[in-house]
């Protein structure tokens, strides 16, 4: 059984060598930690903060780019749908400068009125035709149809402006 004794000695030598290596690594780590002074710790902290800030910036940029792509695709789809609706509406309108078109343009009944986009299109048609009277009438109609929306926008804008907004809300 001399072989078993030899194997035990070789194993013991291997374990001892491994422990020696680990102890030297531990001593080196101890020297590094003990060698750190306040300045070294400050630089370490500064490095950690800078790394965290850089990581946060990269993460923000990636998330922003993904959201921007997503929402620009949604906006493009919605714009395409709105254009298709306007094109369909324009296809159903009577030809320019016909009495039927003017009845639709002048109606005050919301369900029968043309859309704001169609009204703007008709203003462009009047401009191309050089019809100043029609341009003025249609522009006034457009302003009348958007008056409530513009008034609400103006009230909200003034209300956000502080003390002056409070006076306006009270009617002064």
Distance from C-alpha of 93 to C-alpha of 137, rounded to nearest angstrom: 18
Q: What is the pLDDT of residue 161?
A: 84
Report the pLDDT value the prediction gives residue 168, as an integer from 0 to 100.
55
Asked if 80 and 86 count as a contact pair (C-beta separation under 8 A), the reply is no
Q: Which regions in the chain score pLDDT beneath 50?
A: 1
Give CA–CA dist 87/168, Å, rounded: 42
How many CB atoms sit inside 10 A of residue 104's CB?
A: 17
Q: How far is CA 38 from CA 43, 45, 87, 159, in A?
A: 9, 10, 72, 54
CB-based contact 126:134 (threshold 8 Å): yes
| Residue 145 CB coordination number (10 Å) | 16
Task: Write the pLDDT tens digit of every residue in 19-65.
Answer: 888 788 888 877 776 777 777 777 877 888 888 888 888 888 888 88
Cα gap 113→56, rounded to integer Å:
52
Question: What is the per-residue pLDDT for 127?
Answer: 95
């Amino acid at each position: 059984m001399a072989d078993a004794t030899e194997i035990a000695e070789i194993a013991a030598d291997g374990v001892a060598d491994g422990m020696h290596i680990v102890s030297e690594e531990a001593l080196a780590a101890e020297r590094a930690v003990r060698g750190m002074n306040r300045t070294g710790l400050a630089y370490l902290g500064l490095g950690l903060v800078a790394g965290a800030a850089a990581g946060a910036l990269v993460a923000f940029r990636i998330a922003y780019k993904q959201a921007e792509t997503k929402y620009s695709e949604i906006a493009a789809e919605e714009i395409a749908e709105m254009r298709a609706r306007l094109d369909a509406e324009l296809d159903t309108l009577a030809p320019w400068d016909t009495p039927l078109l003017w009845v639709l343009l002048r109606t005050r009944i919301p369900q029968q009125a043309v859309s704001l986009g169609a009204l703007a299109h008709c203003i462009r048609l009047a401009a191309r035709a050089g019809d100043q009277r029609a341009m003025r009438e249609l522009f006034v109609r457009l302003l009348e149809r958007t008056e409530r929306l513009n008034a609400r926008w103006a009230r909200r804008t003034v209300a956000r402006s502080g003390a002056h907004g409070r006076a306006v809300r009270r009617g002064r």
